[in-house]
Amino acid sequence: TAKYCTTNDGKEKNISNVTVIGGGLMGAGIVQVAAQNDFDVVIVDKEDEYLQKCMVMVRKSIDRITKKKFPDEPKLASKFVNDTLNRIKTEKEPSVGVANADLVIEAITENLDAKWKLFEVIDKAAPKHCIFTSNTSSLPIFEISKVTSRPDKFGGLHFFNPVPLMKLVEVVKAENTSQETFDTLFQFSKDLGKIPVACKDTPGFIVNRLLVPYMMEAIRFVERGHANARDIDTAMKLGAGYPMGPFELADYVGLDTIKFIVDGWHKNNPDNPLFNPSEMLNRCVEMGKFGKKNGEGFYKYT
């Protein structure tokens, strides 16, 4: 029942056109997975340079997937790559990018004002039936939806990095999200080959509420001088079975994104020590060390 959204004239329609806004780490992965699963996708970002960078990420990742999927079938492999890439269009103007969208997935920088500005613009340009979602890591979905005329058609769709590999999607039902919208998003996540879980609109949903304080605690560990980052990473991989240690993971997620998350939570909950800011993290971000995505964070990447 849930695979449909209702159009202006009351007819039910499959979600087929997906617009992803923000072609960074997450947006690139979401675009790829949607295109691989037969959705027509428009990717919107601010500059040609970012759009090109996004398409490079998509191509590299598809190549890795394709090598695994079709190891001895070069014809099928190149058809898969071409079909996927042919389903993707790029666009700089958000209002143009959403004009035919059935579903919008916002994956821009983790900043409420920026998200509000964007949603105000696209609310006027997108079809009435179009469902809006945010991939926010930490902001309340209801708060983001307030600037639109469609909070009932607004939900959270939270993917995990790297999107092509991570199976989970947290589907967030906020105060005003209708059951129909929630069901559609749940089914859409399955159509992408993911495993959805239902989440309430609480800070960090499930995963980040546990993972972000854990990464911050690891940073504070080093600040106290009780161990170094490399040893903590080794310890958590070999002693707790995590695929990455907390510093590798922080670099992978993006130190700027983690700082946005923690600062926001600290502002709203100043008495919760789990959300205290960290000098070391602030310094890294001040120096432009955002992690793996720009070459240096706690570690250096070539």
Distance CA 74, CA 196 (A): 33
Q: Taking CB within 5 to 8 Å according to partner kind, which of ligand CAA, ligand NAD, none is near residue 174?
A: none
The closest of 169, 159, 140 to 25, measured between CA atoms, is 159
Instruction: Exactly one of 158, 161, 189, 248 is catalytic; name it.
Output: 158
Question: Of ligand CAA, ligand NAD, none, which one sits near residue 123, judging by CB under 5 to 8 A according to partner kind?
Answer: none
HEC string for 164-222: CCCCEEEEEECCCCCHHHHHHHHHHHHHCCCEEEEEECCCCCCHHHHHHHHHHHHHHHH
Residue 128: CB minimum distance to ligand NAD, A: 22
Q: Which does 165 bind (CB under 5 to 8 A by kind): ligand CAA, ligand NAD, none?
A: ligand CAA
Selecting among 135, 137, 189, 278, the annotated active-site residue is: 137
Contact indicator for 7, 103 with CB cutoff of 8 Å: no
* Sites for ligand CAA among residues 242-281 (CB under 6 A): 243-244, 249, 253
Least distance (Å) between residue 159 CB and ligand NAD: 6
Q: Which of 61, 110, 145, 170 is catalytic?
A: 170
Cβ nearer to ligand CAA, comparing 219 with 253:
253
Minimum CB distance to ligand NAD, residue 99 (Å): 15
- Residue 110 interacting partner from ligand CAA, ligand NAD, none (CB closer than 5 to 8 Å by kind): ligand NAD
Task: Assess 188 for contact with ligand CAA (CB under 6 A).
Answer: no
Task: Look up 226 and say whether it is catalytic.
Answer: no
Using the contact rule CB under 6 A, the part of the chain among 79-87, 177-185, 212-220, 249-257 near ligand NAD is 249-257
User: Residue 170 catalytic?
Assistant: yes
How many residues in the shown chain lie near ligand NAD by CB under 6 A?
28
Concatenating the DSSP letter of every residue in the chain gives -TTEEE-TTS-EEE--EEEEE--SHHHHHHHHHHHHTT-EEEEE-SSHHHHHHHHHHHHHHHHHHHHHH-TT-HHHHHHHHHHHHHTEEEES-HHHHTTT-SEEEE---S-HHHHHHHHHHHHHHS-TTPEEEE--SSS-HHHHHTTSS-GGGEEEEE--SSTTT--EEEEEE-TT--HHHHHHHHHHHHHTT-EEEEEES-TTTTHHHHHHHHHHHHHHHHHTTSS-HHHHHHHHHHHH--SS-HHHHHHHH-HHHHHHHHHHHHHH-TT-GGG---HHHHHHHHTT--BGGGTBSSSB--
Least distance (Å) from ligand NAD to the CB of residue 143? 13
What is the footprint of ligand NAD within residues 110-129 (CB under 6 A)?
Answer: 110, 114, 118
Catalytic site includes residue 61: no
Q: Smallest gap, in angstroms, from Cβ of residue 296 to ligand NAD?
A: 15
Q: Does residue 44 touch ligand NAD according to CB under 6 A?
A: yes
Catalytic residue numbers read 137, 158, 170, 208
Positions that interact with ligand CAA (CB under 6 A): 61, 64-65, 68, 137, 160-162, 164-166, 207-208, 211, 243-244, 249, 253
Positions that interact with ligand NAD (CB under 6 A): 21-27, 44-46, 50, 94, 107-110, 114, 118, 135-137, 159-161, 253-254, 257, 293
